[in-house]
Each structure stands twice: as C-alpha cells, then as structure tokens.
Amino acid sequence: MRTTLCNRYESDGGKYTIVTSYWGDGYTECEYTFDNLLRRMDGEPCEYDAEGHLISCGEYTFVWEDGNIVRCESEHEGTMEYTYYTDRENKSPIDIDPLINALGGGDFFLMAHPQLLGTWCKNLVKTSTYNHDSNPVTWEYTLDSDDYVTGVKRTDRDHYSYEYRWE
C-alpha cells in the first residue's frame, strides 16, 4: 500500500532543477524538470505561448480563449471542456484549475507549486464536461471578503458531491 509520497530535488548541473516524486515503496509517480517554469514532465516537453500560458505538455494540449482554458485534449484520456464564472476572478490556483487537474492528478507537487505552470486561468471554473458528456460536473465556491476561495463544492452527474474548505 502506498502511503507516503516523497520528492527528491536534484540539479542537472546547469540551469534546471529535477524533482522526482516517488512513493515510500520506491514507485516513481513522476519526474519534473523546471527552471522558473515546468519544462519537461516525465521526459515530455512543455510549451508556452507568448503570454505565459501552457499550451502543451506531453500528451496534453490546452486551448485558451479570453484568458481561460476552454478545452484540454489528451490522446489517451479524451477531451475535457470548461466554462467559467465570468464575474469570479481566479486569484489563486486551486486543484480544480484545468492545468493542475490535468497534469497534477494524484501528485501534490504541482498543487504545491502552481507557479511552475505559467499563467493560470483568469476565472473560476463553473463546469467541466468530459468527452461531450451531457451531464457536466459543476463547481460552486465560497469566497472570503477579498474574493479568495475558502471553499469549493463539486457535484457530478450522479449528484455525488464533496467540498473542500480552507480556514
């Protein structure tokens, strides 16, 4: 049983840092190569546009419109489409941000270092739809007086929901 996730930091002897995320039993989860941005994930290159938006990393391609990812495409995992609350600014990326959701699932390294993914989405996610499913996952937020997220409620097509809270 995998219970402990560890990160080993190394230098490549030049300008990059390499982090290997591994479980206590020795199973390697992922290897990240970065300077101020993520440059490779498990040996696959990551590319950014002129505005600092991550547009591809390994098998993932991100389509941006108006400062938000509207679609994430993956050869093996299909397509995820997103809509946003246009009146709710994304002041700090959280785990449902499309970049962290696609690349960081199961590994907390990118959740702990979201700045490595470049410019994140401008607004908070409202819905996510997998492979054109007619029943999207919906997201609701609790905000503090400065409009920072303090709670997230996720509800899926089966009306299963769970909440995150920060205090």
Q: pLDDT tens for residues 52-85?
A: 999 999 899 999 999 999 999 998 888 999 999 9
Mean pLDDT of the chain: 84
Q: Which residues pair with 56 in a beta bridge?
A: 47, 61
Domain boundaries, the chain: 48-165
Q: Which residues pair with 137 in a beta bridge?
A: 128
Nearest CA among 64, 63, 61, 65 for reference residue 76:
61
- Residue 108, token pair as written in the block: 């907390």
**Confidence (pLDDT) at 8:** 83
pLDDT at 106 over 60: no
Nearest CA among 133, 120, 127, 130 for reference residue 80:
130
- Mean pLDDT across 122-133: 87
Among 10-14, 117-121, 157-161, top mean pLDDT goes to 117-121
- Residue 152, token pair as written in the block: 């997230």
